[in-house]
Amino acid sequence: MRWPSSDRIVFPVGLLATLLVLVVVFYYPVGRVLLAAIDPAGSPLAPIGDVLADPFYVGVAHHVFTNPASVPAGVLAWLADGAPLGAFEFGLFGFTAYQAALSALASVALGLPGAYVLARYDFWGRRTLTSLTIVPFVLPSILVAVGFQAMFGRTGLLNDLLAVVGLGPIEVLYTLPAIVIAHAFYNAPLVTRFVTGAWEGVDAREIESARAMGATPVRAFRDVVVPKLLPSLLSATLLAFVFSFMSFPIVLALGGLELQTVEVWLYAKVQSLELEAAAGLAVLESILSLGLMYLYLRYESGQIASRSGRLSRARRSLLAGWRTVSDPRRLAVLAYGVVAGVVFLGPVLSLLIESITGPDGALTMAYYEFLLARQASTAVGTIAPLTAIRNSLLFALGTLAVAVPMGVIVSLVATRGGRGSRLAEALLSAPLAVSGIVVGLGLLETLVFGVEVFGYRLTVTGWLAVVAAHAVAAYPFVTRNVTPALAGIDDRVVDAARSLGASRLRALLTVTVPLIAAPLVAGAAFAFAISIGEFDSTVLLAEGGASHTMPVALERYVGNRSIGPSLGPATAMGSVVLAVTAASFVVIDRVGGRYDG
Amino acid sequence: MKRRTFLRTAGVSVVGATALAGCTDAEQTDDGSSPTGAETDTTTETNTDTRTGTTTGTSTSERTLRVATYSSFTGEDTAGNWLKSAFESAHDGVTVEFVTPESGLNQYILRRQQGAPLDVDAYVGLNTSELVRADQELEESLFAVPDLERAGNVKDGLQTDPEGRTIPYDTGYIALVYDENEVENPATFDALTTDPYRGDLIAQNAQQSDPGRAFLLWTIAAKGPDGYLEYWRDLLDNDVKILSDWEPAYQAYQNEEAPMVVSYSTDQVYYHGEGVDMSRHQVGFINDQGYANPEMMGLFADADAPELGREFMDFVLSPEAQAEIAVRNVQFPAVAGVDPGEAFSKYAYEPDEPVTFTYDELAGNVDGWIEDWAREVSA
Amino acid sequence: MGESSIGGDTRGESTEGGVGLEDVSVTFGDVPALSDVTLSVAEGEFFTLVGPSGCGKTTTLRTVAGFETPTSGSVRIGGRDVAGLPPEQRDVGIVFQNYALFPHMTVEENVAYGLRYRSPPGDVGPDERVADLLELVDMADLTDRRPESLSGGQQQRAALARALAPGPDVLLLDEPLSALDARLREQLRVEVREIQRELGITTIYVTHDQAEALAISDRIAVMNDGRIEQIGTPEDVYRDPATRFVAEFVGENNVFDARVDGDGRTLTIGDDTIVSIDDETIELPQSLPERGELTVCVRPEDVHFGPGETALSATVEHVEFLGDAYRVHCAWNGRSIRARTQRAPEGENVTLGFDATDVTVVRSE
């Protein structure tokens, strides 16, 4: 559909504002960093070529770039050798992709059953639990590391529990599984949240007609339910892969340097100011992520079916008295609950326990007293917890106010159809696919240092810049949630509203938005979570006390030695973060839920 | 560079069309009110009258020194805040402002490279590798020679910059912290690669972490640039764990993931006291050595207030300040003959023989050493 | 608005209060969807656009509603040029094939939606207006239901009430009955027509079902391939199709290529001379051109067994019993011809006949 002639102001201005924000706080800063790889002082593209030609980075694939002529002979020799799989090294990129693929699979394995339970069963606290699924998403990695150590460590809670039943001990820390589980801890909520909505949207009548036509329940599931879930499931899986690919601090905190990823090297290169080499790595990372994103979007656009006028299915009651323990399906759900409890609740609970446990193992309130002392302190450089909470919430609300309209506008562009709209959406999704380290460096080099325009050095910082940066990082989550739903809306419903006298904007607000309320609220919750958890651009762009958000406070408390070098104060602050974000998500879902029919 | 004055005036501008606030101060400045319109929590301990509201209307005798440092140097009960209030009380009308850029000294190297204003006078808390990097990246030195009166008092082994631009103000010594119930002090590097110590050591990533890098440099000092990679192969074969940074590493140590961790020789200063099991806080030097990791300060070549910066740096080297910094930063004084007090002296151990690489030894080498090491670990 | 009696071809008649399109063309990308469409709908008229799918009838409707922008030509509603006016400023009510009710609103909220932006006609308040319309479409007891819990017919009534609530100048109905079963469809089309008469509202109705178009309309426009083939009353279009397409599309028909010879005195289909003007008993409804190729058609109900003014030897291929008649498919000299008869054929070989007055000459293409 082309833009109609009315609303000449609102939509073009909204789109323009969206693009302007994106250019100022994302494309220009990031472009400047990446340009170092494309047009360095030496020969063009050399930093990228250096990476591709280095077996350390790309393993056996470097032959393709260093000596392509030798490749066929090499392949033949390998085939003649019986094609042994273990003969290859795939380098840093290979390992990074490998662990990311495992992490994405683990996220699906952990997240998908969660979506099933939340979409198909009813039980006390279901809505609240749905709201809380995003909480892991905001936890700073240092706290996840603390929680995981306390949960899965040699002396951790899990081994204590296993010892009670005569099992264990198991050692997962500092191995690949530890990283994979940690990535699943972060990303399974994406899978759960994305897929729950799609599962709720399955039309009961379609399943009934499939059954009526002779399909077994399994076949009806495969033929009717699976196609409905696949777009959102793949979308979440892709994001889990991309995020795990670019994961950085958690890898070394729980895995150790032997399990390092591309991002660890990117960080090291930036630290040692080898910016061309860093840009080379970043360009390849981004090409990989964006390429996957584009392929996915191509697929997604062919998958979306109309959802209007659906008849949703009733949820089953999870607990059905004694029948609960004899029903294999309910038993499986309860077993999943145990696993989810270990992976999600375990680290979070361990974190809470750590916050009230002293170095000697005794109960202590010292860490919360530390927070109170920060609150009372007037010393320069001290961050008061309440200030941090207030700033975080203000930034998050600001982010919602910007990211939600931005996300909806980009979704509208994406669902407009026409040539190149997939490519456009992939490019507009770039904030998901570009390394946070690169974004941080780009913001520093442009907005913070300033750009000379007509002899003036313009800098763009302050709280508005922070909100813009948070919104840019957050809006793709709105878009990813909203686009499939938006594409599923029957155009004629909107046309009907227009013919009844609603302008395009009013039709959007009174018809379209309520119809996409559930995914919109889910996207908003993610946007909120992104803002709450954001650290890098906050400390770069905020000025004075405004930069004191909860993650910044937490980071400062990590470095604070006033009650010894202890992560205790950080765990106490982490518990505060948990409480504040959990409450926020419940509120967002409740408020948002009112608009959801 | 004369350009700074010009840029500074031009810098306070706003991108009008988007109504984004424009300002040159990107770092957290711990001063002024929160732009979100509410009261800020960062009021000062002293001179609050000069720091509220705008600075217009203050008398001409008032001067401001802007000091860049790392974030944990400032805050309640820190060395930074003590220095600030002591210096401000001793100098009428002087305000010390701390700026804590997240990227540390790199922020100023990049600013200089891009012709952006520095907006700070002095830097507190850099190490030799960072100075090497700054000189490698920039044609003109980032720092000026401050010509301090007390520069001569700094202990000999700590002064690593041959040009005397950056001055050590304290130092830590890298050592092993171990649980004597589980292991004995290995005492030699070679012992760490033997079977009794298999899986016993937690170290940190030299690419990211100060103690991690210092420990790596220590092994290079001990095994030589040609031998250290082989040594690390042996260490890796012996299941050394290399975590991102000091905090997760020490946390893992406290959770009994391994009985030894690369840390500081001042460990017990934190952990003495009633009910603390000191057997888990034993400090082990290797070959009776400890790798010195001096923290240095420097005066930026294009400082706005060089004279004030010089006075501040001299003040930092005063015996009184040195003792306070030692206690509050839990690091050894850089100046000889300073007594940080009994509690500190009793629990902080100094190695018989401090080792550290000088500026000249690191220059041109350190990045390559670390990269080769990281590739070795990853392979 | 009063009821108007419209008959005959009213092309070019004043569209004051009605709808007029003049030389309207619409293209999608490079593909032309409408080519030079001109039509006028009088105030209070029930006007139907009929044609096969893809013929441009829905595009015409959407152009009137303002959802498509013409590349050329003008659209007038109620006497004013609506070029550039967005849909919300055109005062049209539209009912879609799939009803397009707002799934998140009740029936009542759906009907009341348009009254948020437009005041109801007359002196009634919005609540009363909604109640009146729900009464009109016989939905008064389903006001609080959500669309998903309504039957197709109920949804259609609700959609009609919603479109009518703000008192639009024009009612646009886009295949509103096609998703319903045959019996309900016939019942509802009567209701729709009655409501339209009662309100006297100018109505444009789109359907692919020619029988429906003939049954319901004051006038119809037959469309094909983005163009209008013929406009006229149902009777005119049925009896006197202007083009071969109309002849084949509207009603059942036997269409033949024919030839006029002998100074316009003989009409020949294939080798059989059908009409000879020399025979005095024969009277043709239209005058023939003096000679040349043309198209003629004969309705199956005008074809009977046994010789009439013509006698054709045909072979029966297939017989359908329709309840009130038989449809007999025959082959005649390599052509197929259908007859609608009261009795079944006896034997395979039959003689078919029709009168020359039942032969209609189609305007040459």
Interval A259-297: pLDDT, tens? 989 999 999 999 999 999 999 999 999 999 999 988 888
In C, minimum Cα distance to A4 occurs at: C86
CB C218 within 8 A of CB C233: yes
Same domain, B64 and B130: yes
What is the structure's pLDDT at A72? 84
Among candidate residues C292, C279, C290, C288, the one with its CA nearest the CA of residue C355 = C279
In B, minimum Cα distance to A545 occurs at: B34
DSSP track, A439-504: HHHHHIIIIIT-EEETTEEE---SHHHHHHHHHHHHHHHHHHHHHHHHHHS-HHHHHHHHHTT--H
Residues C199 and C185: their CA atoms lie apart, in Å, by 21
User: How distant, in Å, are the alpha carbons of A51, A66, A216, B246, C365 from that of A59?
Assistant: 10, 12, 48, 31, 72
Q: Residue B185 maps to which CATH number?
A: 3.40.190.10
Please report which confidence band the pLDDT of residue A87 belongs to, taking 50, 70 and 90 as the band edges.
Answer: low
Say whether B270 and A448 touch across the interface (CB within 8 A): no
CB B347 within 8 A of CB B268: yes
Same domain, B136 and B186: no
Torsion, Cα of C179, C183, C186, C191 (10° steps): -90
Torsion, Cα of C146, C149, C150, C152 (10° steps): 120
Query: What is the CB neighbour count within 10 angstroms for residue A379?
Result: 22
Does B12 have pLDDT greater than 60?
A: no
Beta C202-207 vs C170-174: how paired, if at all? parallel
Can you state the percent helix, strand and coil of chain C, rounding each to 5?
A: 25, 35, 40
Say whether B7 and A154 touch across the interface (CB within 8 A): no
Question: Which of B14, B25, B36 should be substituted to probe chain A, the one whose Cβ sees the most A Cβ atoms within 10 Å?
Answer: B36
Q: What is the mean pLDDT of residues B70-85?
A: 92
What is the structure's pLDDT at B95? 95
Question: Which of A499, A508, A513, A521 should be substituted to probe chain C, the one whose Cβ sees the most C Cβ atoms within 10 Å?
Answer: A499
At residue B299, the 3 state secondary structure works out as strand
> Given A146, A457, A556, which is nearest B7 (Cβ)?
A457
User: How distant, in Å, are the alpha carbons of A158, A285, C317 from that of C310?
Assistant: 100, 84, 21
Same domain, B155 and B239: no
Residues B105 and C229: their CA atoms lie apart, in Å, by 80
| Side chain identity at residue A134, one-letter code | I
Widest CA span in chain B: 71
C 46-75 near A (Cβ less than 8 A): 62, 65-67, 69
Same domain, B251 and B297: no
The answer to whether B36 contacts chain A (CB < 8 Å) is yes
B 148-187 near A (Cβ less than 8 A): none
CB A592 within 8 A of CB A520: yes
Min Cα–Cα distance to chain A from C102, Å: 6
Residues B264 and B285: their CA atoms lie apart, in Å, by 10
Say whether C113 and A502 touch across the interface (CB within 8 A): yes
Residues of chain A found within 8 Å of residue C148, distances taken between Cβ atoms:
309-311
Query: What is the CB neighbour count within 10 angstroms for residue A76?
Result: 10
What is the structure's pLDDT at C47? 97
In A, minimum Cα distance to C90 occurs at: A499
The answer to whether C145 contacts chain A (CB < 8 Å) is no
Please report which confidence band the pLDDT of residue A388 belongs to, taking 50, 70 and 90 as the band edges.
Answer: very high
Min Cα–Cα distance to chain B from A330, Å: 37
Please report which confidence band the pLDDT of residue A312 belongs to, taking 50, 70 and 90 as the band edges.
Answer: low
pTM of the model: 0.84
CB C220 within 8 A of CB C226: no
At residue C68, the 3 state secondary structure works out as coil
Contacts of B154 (CB under 8 A, 6+ apart): B167, B168, B317, B334, B335, B336
CB C133 within 8 A of CB C165: yes
What is the structure's pLDDT at C172? 96
Min Cα–Cα distance to chain A from B25, Å: 7
Burial of C204 (0-12, 13-18, 19+ CB in 10 A): buried
Chains in contact with C via at least 3 Cβ–Cβ pairs below 8 Å: A
Chains in contact with B via at least 3 Cβ–Cβ pairs below 8 Å: A
Min Cα–Cα distance to chain B from A408, Å: 20
In A, minimum Cα distance to B116 occurs at: A449
CB A235 within 8 A of CB A65: no
Q: DSSP secondary-structure letter at A561?
A: -
Does A390 have pLDDT greater than 90?
A: yes
Q: What is the mean pLDDT of residues A104-128?
A: 92
User: What are the structural domains of chain C?
Assistant: 19-246 (3.40.50.300), 253-362 (2.40.50.140)
Same domain, B343 and B356: no
Same domain, B133 and B119: yes
User: In total, how many domains does chain B have?
Assistant: 2
The answer to whether A369 contacts chain C (CB < 8 Å) is no
Weakest-pLDDT range from A387-391, A424-428, B206-210: A424-428
Residue C203, strand partner residues: C46, C171
Q: B104 is in which domain, residue-wise? A: 3-171+293-347
What is the structure's pLDDT at C281? 45
How many residue pairs bridge chain A and chain C with CB atoms within 8 Å of each other? 104
CB C307 within 8 A of CB C323: no
Touch between B and A (at least 3 CB pairs under 8 Å)? yes
At residue A246, the 3 state secondary structure works out as coil
In A, minimum Cα distance to B206 occurs at: A268
Interval C231-246: pLDDT, tens? 999 999 998 888 999 9
Chains in contact with A via at least 3 Cβ–Cβ pairs below 8 Å: B, C
> Given A490, A501, A511, which is nearest C88 (Cβ)?
A501
Min Cα–Cα distance to chain A from C87, Å: 5
Same domain, B223 and B242: yes
In A, minimum Cα distance to C97 occurs at: A492
Question: Which of A492, A500, A509 should be substituted to probe chain C, the one whose Cβ sees the most C Cβ atoms within 10 Å?
Answer: A500
Q: What is the mean pLDDT of residues C22-42?
A: 92
Mean pLDDT (chain C, rounded): 86
Does A494 have pLDDT greater than 80?
A: yes
Among candidate residues A139, A150, A152, the one with its CA nearest the CA of residue A180 = A152
User: How distant, in Å, are the alpha carbons of B4, B125, B322, B359 from that of B168?
Assistant: 28, 9, 11, 13
Please report which confidence band the pLDDT of residue B374 belongs to, taking 50, 70 and 90 as the band edges.
Answer: very high
Weakest-pLDDT range from A29-38, B40-49, B213-222: B40-49
Say whether A496 and C146 touch across the interface (CB within 8 A): no
The answer to whether C104 contacts chain A (CB < 8 Å) is yes
The answer to whether C121 contacts chain A (CB < 8 Å) is no
Please report which confidence band the pLDDT of residue A303 belongs to, taking 50, 70 and 90 as the band edges.
Answer: low
Does B54 have pLDDT greater than 80?
A: no
Same domain, B25 and B102: yes
What is the structure's pLDDT at B52? 34
Min Cα–Cα distance to chain B from A310, Å: 43
Same domain, B237 and B355: yes
Min Cα–Cα distance to chain A from B234, Å: 14
Does B39 have pLDDT greater than 50?
A: no
Same domain, B71 and B153: yes
> Given A496, A498, A514, which is nearest C104 (Cβ)?
A514
Residues listed for chain A: 597
Half-sphere exposure of A43 (CA within 13 A, CB side): 4
Q: What is the mean pLDDT of residues B180-197?
A: 95
CB C319 within 8 A of CB C327: yes
Interval C246-279: pLDDT, tens? 999 999 999 988 887 766 667 777 776 666 655 4
Interval B98-129: pLDDT, tens? 999 989 999 999 999 999 999 999 999 999 99
Same domain, B110 and B155: yes
Min Cα–Cα distance to chain A from C98, Å: 8
Residues C18 and C33: their CA atoms lie apart, in Å, by 23
B 308-347 near A (Cβ less than 8 A): 330
The answer to whether B279 contacts chain A (CB < 8 Å) is no
Contacts of C77 (CB under 8 A, 6+ apart): C19, C64, C90, C91, C92, C169, C170
What is the structure's pLDDT at A310? 53
Mean pLDDT (chain A, rounded): 86
Touch between C and B (at least 3 CB pairs under 8 Å)? no
CB A340 within 8 A of CB B38: no
Containing A332, the helix (H) or strand (E) segment is helix A328-340
Residues A502 and A368: their CA atoms lie apart, in Å, by 54
Touch between C and A (at least 3 CB pairs under 8 Å)? yes
CB B211 within 8 A of CB B175: no
The answer to whether C27 contacts chain A (CB < 8 Å) is no
Interval B308-355: pLDDT, tens? 999 999 999 999 999 999 999 999 999 999 999 998 999 999 999 999
What is the structure's pLDDT at A314? 75
pLDDT cut 90: percent of chain A above it:
39
Residues of chain A found within 8 Å of residue B50, distances taken between Cβ atoms:
none
Interval A521-577: pLDDT, tens? 889 999 999 999 999 889 889 877 778 899 999 888 888 877 777 788 989 999 999
Interval A323-367: pLDDT, tens? 777 788 888 898 999 999 999 999 999 999 989 988 778 899 999
Query: What is the CB neighbour count within 10 angstroms for residue B34?
Result: 22
Contacts of C262 (CB under 8 A, 6+ apart): C277, C291
The answer to whether C347 contacts chain A (CB < 8 Å) is no
Same domain, B371 and B315: no
> Given A156, A456, A555, which is nearest B13 (Cβ)?
A456
Burial of B196 (0-12, 13-18, 19+ CB in 10 A): exposed
The answer to whether A311 contacts chain C (CB < 8 Å) is yes
Q: What sign results for the dihedral spanned by CA atoms A13, A18, A21, A26?
A: negative
User: How distant, in Å, are the alpha carbons of B32, B47, B320 from that of B86?
Assistant: 21, 12, 10
Does A322 have pLDDT greater than 80?
A: no
Please report which confidence band the pLDDT of residue C364 belongs to, taking 50, 70 and 90 as the band edges.
Answer: low
Residues of chain B found within 8 Å of residue A378, distances taken between Cβ atoms:
41, 43-45
Say whether B102 and A539 touch across the interface (CB within 8 A): yes
Q: Which two tokens stand for residue B7?
A: 């840029």
Interval B244-263: pLDDT, tens? 889 889 989 988 999 999 99
